[in-house]
């Protein structure tokens, strides 16, 4: 079940309140997004841990619902 872009943005925003977030719709089908998140929540975490934190916060949305999400994460210096 795809998700509208504003809903995905909202979901990420309330999980990563002080982050700057960029969500791009890659295919116009509400199912393929590129998401980049820069947040202090990632400071000190490895890349895998950063992505796991994002996937955990989008629980249930990944793979079965949201087919494809390219993810780029970064801590804040």
Partner 1 sequence: MELDENTKTQIENMIGENEVFLFMKGNPDFPMCGFSSVASAILKKCGVNFGHCNVLDDEKIREGIKSFSNWPTIPQLYIKKEFVGGCDIMKEMAESGELIELLNTRGIETQIS
Work out which of 18, 40, 43, 70 binds partner 1, going by CB under 8 A.
Answer: 70
Residue closer to partner 1 by CB (options 21, 62) is: 62
Place of tokens 């509208």: 4
Residue closer to partner 1 by CB (options 7, 72) is: 72
Q: Considering only CA atoms, which of 23, 19, 2 is closest in space to residue 66?
A: 2
In this structure, what token pair is assigned to residue 61? 């949305």
Does 52 engage in binding with partner 1 (CB under 8 A)? yes
The DSSP letter of residue 55 is H
The DSSP letter of residue 15 is H
Does 24 engage in binding with partner 1 (CB under 8 A)? no
Does 71 engage in binding with partner 1 (CB under 8 A)? yes
């Amino acid at each position: 079940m795809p998700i509208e872009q504003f809903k995905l943005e909202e979901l990420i925003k309330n999980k990563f309140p002080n982050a700057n977030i960029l969500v791009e719709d890659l295919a116009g089908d509400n199912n393929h997004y590129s998401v980049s998140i820069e947040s202090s929540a990632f400071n000190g975490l490895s890349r895998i841990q950063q992505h796991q934190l994002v996937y955990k916060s989008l629980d249930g949305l990944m793979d079965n619902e949201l087919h494809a999400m390219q993810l780029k994460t970064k801590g804040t210096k």
